[in-house]
Amino acid sequence: MGLAAAIVGGGILLSRFMGLLRDKLISLLFGATRQSDLYFAAFVIPDLINYMLAGGYFSITLIPFLTKYFEEDEEEGWRFFSSVLLWVTVAVCALTVVAFFSASTLARLAAPGLGDRSLVRLAYFLRIILPAQIFFLCGSCLTGILFMRKQFFVPAVVSIVYNLFIIAGGILLRARGMEGFCWGVLVGSFVGNLLLPLLAVKFGGGLNLRWSIFHPGLKKYFLVALPLMLGQSITVLDQQFMRIFGSYAEAGAVSWLSYARRIMMVPVSVVAQAAGMASFPFMADLYVKKDLSRLYRTIKAALQNVMTLLIPISAWMILVAQPTIRLIFQEGRFDLSDTVMTARLLQVLLFCVPCWGFQQVLSRAFYAKLDTLTPAVLGTIVTVLVIPVFYLLAIHSGAVGVAFASVSALLLYTVAMTVWWRMKSGGEAFDGLLSGTAKILVVTCVAMAPAWAAGKASPFDPRFSPYLAAFSEIVLSGLSFGIVFACLSAYFIPELARPFLDRIGPIGRRLLRDRAAGS
């Protein structure tokens, strides 16, 4: 499971880097303007179609069923898979066609705060991006086969290819404004999200599609997937809420929020999403075998490791939020005022990073037990409750209010998920987690003081050398924080730090040995 997490995490890290490079190009050419706002808002409706068909969960919900059918009879497994793929394709094509011809109306729903002229341009962008959902959904089905086979490499690189095409489209068609990025989305989704998984399945074990309209397992599968289709969790709508309610704030607000969220999601994706994706096939396998004791131990280990990494990382990123935004985005049409505003939003959003990590693992624990209803119902309830919060804070506090609404929503959802799991499955998966998290918080707080001082000791003046000043502040602060945190964690919380210090080489193992010798 650790190797799988490393492969997935490495792929996600590269994917996030490509995403940052893409957003850097957008900020360089268009800054935080109405033009960039339109591009980000153009994803609201396509993403909602994806969520309505549980696109982000297809590979997840398919894995337990594929594991069961393929273990019993491979021929039956292919018949089941073919039937699911057929109906997914029909559904996403139908919704895409309807949305394509209703783009003008849907654009007004996606960004209600925009004027008529902007809405016409938004509808045009929307029509370009919409067909990409066909490739995303069908590709997700194929990715389920790869995860079932425990083949993680291609799923880890599909987003890299996708982002490469977006960047290429933006560069090659830059004379047409943000339209080039939209065409890059369409081509990238076909090549990266559909063609690559298709070739990987075919040459990595074989692809044997059958003409299978109905299968006995189809009804059971859709009953499991139905809550994810009907229920709209805050975790999948959070980004859309930022775009929708950000349109009520000043021009550039949607872009500021998108840039800040992009940085915030890097540790979430690299640590939490990788842990969740890598651990899920193992959790599903343990549940199928009814080995609940090992299942709960696996959940506990994944949760503890995620919190051990995400708490210190998010705390340090709060310290270096402004130099990070300055280094990555401040250039061209993205000026100092944009940097200050985006950094402020990033600091707010970083407070909920541990919540993102926790629910990434815990939600997959529910799915491993074939319980998609609980996360969907809880997520929908939380979503309904926070909609007025998003609106009121957006109207009265602008982009900052939207960011605070996002943090509140994720915190509420995480608490609700945890309480429900304890009520229904007991607390074995959380044993020792609270005390371990408290220890990590204490060590993190102690490590932040020297990190802050080291960052302020940068020899460069940001007024004259903004990029060198930002880079040196990040490096000095990061080195200080990393060294102090590693030493303190090796001494005070070796049981939590061991899985990571063992893997950073001789220095980490030396710290653990010194701690053992001192004891």
Which amino acid is residue 165, in one-letter code? F
Q: What is the pLDDT of residues 336-362, one digit of tens each?
A: 888 999 999 999 999 999 999 898 888
Beta bridge partners of 334: 331
Question: Which range of residues forms the domain containing residue 94?
Answer: 2-231+264-333
Is 149 part of a structural domain of the chain? yes
Burial class (CB in 10 A: 0-12, 13-18, 19+), 330: buried
Is 224 part of a structural domain of the chain? yes
Q: What is the pLDDT of residues 77-126, one digit of tens each?
A: 888 888 888 888 888 899 899 999 999 998 888 888 777 888 899 999 99
Least confident of 214-228, 397-411, 422-436: 214-228
> Which one is predicted more confidently, 497 or 259?
259
CA atoms within 13 A on the CB side of 299: 32
Is 36 part of a structural domain of the chain? yes
Asked whether the predicted pLDDT for residue 70 surpasses 90, the reply is: no
| Structural domain total, the chain | 1
Tokens of 452: 């802050």
Is 290 part of a structural domain of the chain? yes
Is 359 part of a structural domain of the chain? no
Distance of alpha carbon 517 from alpha carbon 519, whole angstroms: 5
Across residues 137-144, what is the average pLDDT?
Answer: 84
Distance, first Cα to last Cα, the chain: 31
Distance of alpha carbon 272 from alpha carbon 357, whole angstroms: 5
Res. 257 pLDDT band, cuts 50 70 90: very high
Across residues 133-138, what is the average pLDDT?
Answer: 88
3-state secondary structure of 418: helix
Write the secondary structure of 322-360 as one string of H (helix), E (strand) and C (coil): HHHHHHHHCECCECHHHHHHHHHHHHHHHCCHHHHHHHH
Is 151 part of a structural domain of the chain? yes
CA 366 to chain centre: 18
Q: Contact, 394 vs 249, CB < 8 A? A: yes
The residue behind tokens 């360089």 is 28
Asked whether the predicted pLDDT for residue 381 surpasses 70, the reply is: yes
Residue 154: its H or E element: helix 153-172
Is 28 part of a structural domain of the chain? yes
3-state DSSP helix/strand/coil % of the chain, to nearest 5:
85, 0, 15
Q: Contact, 65 vs 281, CB < 8 A? A: no
Q: What's the predicted TM-score (pTM) here?
A: 0.73
Distance of alpha carbon 11 from alpha carbon 206, whole angstroms: 24
Helix locations, 53-112, DSSP H: 58-72, 74-101, 103-110
Nearest Cα residue to 258 out of 474, 30, 472: 30
Asked whether the predicted pLDDT for residue 232 surpasses 60, the reply is: no
Is 479 part of a structural domain of the chain? no
Which amino acid is residue 309, in one-letter code? L
